[in-house]
Amino acid sequence: MNASFNEASAIYLQIASMLEDDILRGILAEEEQVPSTNELARAYSINPATAAKGINLLVDEGVLYKKRGIGMFVAPGARGAIVQKRKDAFYEAYVTQLVREAKALDITKEELAAMIEKAAQG
């Protein structure tokens, strides 16, 4: 666990994102225990309440679940849920903006598809 935080978003959101990244990369597998709030707090020199807020966000999203007296674990299907969440965010943040700008420039769907294909090859 080695990270530096940026000021673009709240630390608890960055903690949640780092755990999601670990799940996406297979570092944390389904049904595997995640670091405790105290472990995260020590590793990143943050308040345990901040770490807990990041973990609880993922619990609320169904990515993590609690085994009473043991700790937090990666939920079954967590990777797929994260992928879908990030695809939805990508669509909202990039695709809709891209299409809006293409329409403003009178770029056809075919031209846009060709541009995307060119970019994907480069």
* pLDDT, tens digit, 9 for 90 and up, residues 82-99: 999 999 999 999 999 999
Q: Are 47 and 12 in contact (CB under 8 A)?
A: no
Task: Taking residues 76-81, report their average pLDDT.
Answer: 97
Q: Give the model's confidence band at 25: pLDDT under 50 very low, under 70 low, under 90 confident, else very high.
A: very high
For residue 102, what are the domain limits?
Answer: 79-121
Do 62 and 113 sit in the same domain of this protein? no
Q: How many domains does the chain have?
A: 2
Q: State the Cα–Cα distance between residues 80 and 85, nearest whole angstrom.
A: 9
Judged by DSSP in three states, 121 sits in helix
| β strands within the chain, DSSP E | 64-67, 71-74
pLDDT, tens digit, 9 for 90 and up, residues 1-17: 556 788 889 999 999 99
Task: Taking residues 100-122, report their average pLDDT.
Answer: 95
Q: Are 39 and 85 in contact (CB under 8 A)?
A: no
**Does 1 map to a domain?**
no
**Does 40 map to a domain?**
yes
Task: Taking residues 44-71, report their average pLDDT.
Answer: 96
Report residue 47 as tokens: 């308040």
Which CATH number goes with the domain that contains 50? 1.10.10.10
Average of per-residue pLDDT values in the chain: 94
